[in-house]
């Protein structure tokens, strides 16, 4: 189901403006510019993919997994934690380094 398409080139897979689009029951509310072959979407107003909802994306490149701006995003990743504490001799002791081993600096 495609509600409104103002300009479409099928062979090059470039769609300039889509008002409403549903692909495999995945609803896209508004797309201002889309290039399908290179998987670059410049602006999306509302997007739901596999029941995962993204409220606002200003710029997105899917193949390189680069997202420039998202209003709300939760990313689960492992981040190294560094903690510093003062030792008795007045220097700064690094309790946990980036690699998890203890390191000291005067």
Quickly state the pLDDT bin for 89 (edges 50, 70, 90). Answer: low
Q: Is the pLDDT of residue 52 over 50?
A: no
Give the CA distances from residue 59 to residues 17, 51, 83, in Å, rounded to whole numbers and listed in that order.
Answer: 16, 21, 36
- Cα 104 from chain centroid (whole Å): 37
pLDDT interval class at 87 (50, 70, 90): very low
In whole angstroms, give the CA distance from residue 59 to residue 76: 21
Q: What tokens were used for 54?
A: 């993204």
What is the percent of the chain with per-residue pLDDT over 70, rounded to a whole number? 0
């Amino acid at each position: 189901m495609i509600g409104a398409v103002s300009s479409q080139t099928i062979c090059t897979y470039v769609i300039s403006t889509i008002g409403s689009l549903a692909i495999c029951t995945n609803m896209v509310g508004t797309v201002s510019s889309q290039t399908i072959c290179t998987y670059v979407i410049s602006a999306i107003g509302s997007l739901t993919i596999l029941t995962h909802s993204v409220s606002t994306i200003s710029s997105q490149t899917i193949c390189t997994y680069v997202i420039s701006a998202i209003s709300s995003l939760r990313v689960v990743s492992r981040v190294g934690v560094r903690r510093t504490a003062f030792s008795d001799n007045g220097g700064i002791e690094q309790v946990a380094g980036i690699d998890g081993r203890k390191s000291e600096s005067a």
